């Protein structure tokens, strides 16, 4: 075989492999021999039918198998001869492959890029100290009380933390909102709904709860609401100023439970307030530690990404772009964003997804190199840990999880790769230079920025 390598880019190559008529004939003979051994024809014992008869009877099948064999052998020969580290097979042009003639196979591949691995030890990261204050514990306990609160009718003006039943109808510059967004009636006109007074979290209508304090049942009021510049659930309202005519129907007061035996029992069965505080403090410390570890990982990945200047293979970038787009669409569909909105912004969405994909692919290639340099591998214990965690998450038996994995070899390879990357990131974090700052220092920095 004659192999010619052409470079389209640093990572995209074409292999042009030429086979002589004799080499094609050799492959053809091997294919026919395999058909002779396996064919079952009336009047002949297995493997004893004449080759010429087999060729006539299975001409189409033999031609297809010959093409597959020639292409496969040509690709493997070209890849090994040129010592290519192929990441993806982009395109195959088999040409015409037939007995008695030369053949030329052209294969386009993306290869692993060559790049200098940047320094990945001693990356500086800054994280808050894992401190849990008494005030934070008290806030959690108050939240627990709030979650267990009762709401009783109140014959007074509404105040913070009350729940108010009200009706509303909105307009934008005199036009009814139900006409602006007919598919989203909830933003236009509702005969009754509950809204928390001065809640820290927005309800359906952004900021509505901040306008209903001090009102009594039966009172009416017109309030002005400005929708955010980006309002994905109803894009027609984004950035608009709306007027809402509201009527208060009922007021209910939040009654917090006493911290008594019944309350403590509902909080995991603790027996005293001190025990509850201890448990809350422990849980908060564990949660803060998870956030700190996540922050460390994010910071080292951001620092590593900034050091990578090579161009990643296009096929990997495109595949990752589609994956990012699927995730974005899935998340936004859950939030109520319409498919029409995606269509209107598809070019911007694709550009952002591609930008993320380029970063992801470059990091994956760098992490693979780091794992190789540091001899990081995926062990049986890693796979077993995944199986156990997955079984707990999905409430399946570990054996069932293993059975599902064994059905999909590609999924197993993807899982092993994810585990390898995670271990590589953990290793970089372990070699990072970590600076911690107190809650007071964090508050001072935040105040200075504001």
Torsion of CA 250, 254, 257, 258, to 10 degrees: -120
CA distance 322 to 357: 9
Give the rounded percent of residues in the chain with a pLDDT score beyond 90.
78
Task: Name the pLDDT band for 447 (thresholds 50, 70, 90).
Answer: low
Stretch (H or E) spanning 433 = strand 433-437
CATH value at residue 222: 3.10.50.40
Closest to 15 measured CA to CA, from 87, 70, 91: 91
Cβ atoms of 373 and 117 closer than 8 Å: yes
Write down the mean pLDDT value for the chain.
92
Task: Name the pLDDT band for 337 (thresholds 50, 70, 90).
Answer: confident
Residues 304 and 411 in one domain: yes
Q: Is the pLDDT of residue 449 over 80?
A: no
The mean per-residue pLDDT over the stretch 243-265 comes to 95
**pLDDT at residue 202, rounded to an integer:** 83
Residues 289 and 438 in one domain: yes
CB neighbour class for 198 (10 Å; exposed up to 12, middle 13-18, buried from 19): middle
**pLDDT at residue 448, rounded to an integer:** 64
**Stronger pLDDT, 232 or 270, i.e. the higher one:** 270
- Residue 101 falls within a domain, yes or no? yes
Torsion of CA 422, 423, 428, 431, to 10 degrees: 140
- Residue 262 falls within a domain, yes or no? no
**pLDDT at residue 308, rounded to an integer:** 96
CATH value at residue 45: 3.30.70.1050
Domain boundary among 202, 220, 255: 255
**pLDDT at residue 438, rounded to an integer:** 78
CB neighbour class for 294 (10 Å; exposed up to 12, middle 13-18, buried from 19): exposed
pLDDT in tens, 350-384: 999 999 999 999 999 999 999 999 999 999 999 99
Q: Is the pLDDT of residue 450 over 60?
A: no
**pLDDT at residue 446, rounded to an integer:** 59
Measured CA distances, 448 to 128, 424, 439, 444, 445 (Å): 17, 36, 14, 6, 5
pLDDT in tens, 8-58: 999 999 999 999 999 999 999 999 888 888 888 887 877 788 888 888 888
Stretch (H or E) spanning 95 = none
The mean per-residue pLDDT over the stretch 188-198 comes to 95
Task: Name the pLDDT band for 443 (thresholds 50, 70, 90).
Answer: low
Stretch (H or E) spanning 30 = helix 21-38
Quote the tokens at residue 171: 């307009």
Q: Is the pLDDT of residue 339 over 80?
A: no
CATH value at residue 351: 1.10.3120.10
Residues 20 and 87 in one domain: yes
Give the rounded percent of residues in the chain with a pLDDT score beyond 70.
98
- Buried-state track 3-39, b at ≥16 Cβ within 10 A, e below 16: eeeeeeeebbbbbbbbbeeebbeebbeebbeebbeeb
Residues 85 and 208 in one domain: no
**pLDDT at residue 437, rounded to an integer:** 87
CA distance 145 to 280: 13
Question: What residues make up the domain containing 218?
Answer: 150-255
- Residue 223 falls within a domain, yes or no? yes
């Amino acid at each position: 075989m004659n192999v010619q390598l052409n470079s389209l880019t640093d990572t995209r190559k074409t292999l042009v492999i030429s086979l002589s008529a004799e080499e094609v004939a050799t492959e053809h003979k091997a294919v026919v021999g395999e058909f002779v051994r396996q064919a079952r024809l009336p009047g002949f014992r297995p493997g004893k039918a004449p080759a010429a008869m087999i060729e006539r009877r299975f001409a189409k099948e033999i031609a297809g198998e010959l093409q597959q064999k020639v292409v496969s052998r040509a690709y493997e020969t070209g890849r090994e001869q040129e010592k290519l580290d192929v990441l993806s097979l982009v395109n195959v042009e088999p040409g015409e492959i037939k007995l008695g003639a030369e053949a030329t196979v052209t294969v386009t591949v993306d290869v692993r890029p060559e790049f200098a691995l940047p320094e990945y030890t001693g990356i500086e990261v800054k994280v808050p100290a894992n401190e849990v204050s008494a005030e934070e514990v008290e806030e959690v306990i108050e939240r627990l009380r709030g979650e267990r609160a009762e709401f009783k009718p109140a014959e007074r003006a509404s105040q913070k933390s009350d729940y108010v039943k009200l009706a509303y109808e909105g307009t934008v510059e005199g036009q009814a909102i139900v006409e602006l967004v007919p598919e989203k009636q909830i933003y236009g006109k509702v005969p009754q709904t509950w809204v928390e007074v001065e809640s820290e979290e927005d309800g359906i209508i952004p900021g509505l709860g901040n306008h209903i304090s001090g009102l009594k049942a039966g009172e009416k009021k017109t309030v002005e609401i400005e929708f955010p510049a980006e309002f994905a659930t109803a894009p027609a309202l984004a950035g608009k100023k709306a007027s809402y005519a509201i009527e208060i129907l009922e007021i209910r007061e939040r009654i917090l439970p006493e911290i008594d035996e019944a309350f403590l029992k509902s909080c995991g069965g603790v027996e005293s307030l001190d025990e509850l505080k201890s448990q809350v403090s422990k849980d908060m410390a564990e949660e803060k530690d998870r956030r700190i570890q996540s922050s460390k990982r994010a910071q080292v990945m951001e620092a590593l990404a900034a050091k990578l200047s090579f161009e990643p293979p296009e096929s990997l970038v495109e595949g990752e772009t589609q994956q990012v787009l699927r995730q974005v669409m899935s998340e936004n569909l859950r939030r109520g964003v319409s498919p029409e909105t995606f269509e209107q912004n598809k070019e911007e969405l694709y550009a952002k997804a591609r930008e993320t994909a380029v970063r992801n692919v470059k990091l994956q290639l760098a992490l693979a190199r780091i794992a190789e340099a540091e001899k990081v591998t995926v062990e049986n214990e890693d796979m077993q840990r995944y199986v156990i965690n997955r079984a707990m998450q999905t409430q399946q038996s570990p054996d069932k999880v293993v059975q599902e994995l064994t059905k999909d070899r590609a999924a197993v390879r993807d899982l092993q790769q994810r585990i390898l990357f995670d271990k590589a990131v953990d290793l970089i974090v372990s070699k990072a230079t970590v600076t911690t700052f107190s809650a007071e220092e964090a508050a001072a920095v935040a105040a200075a920025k504001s």
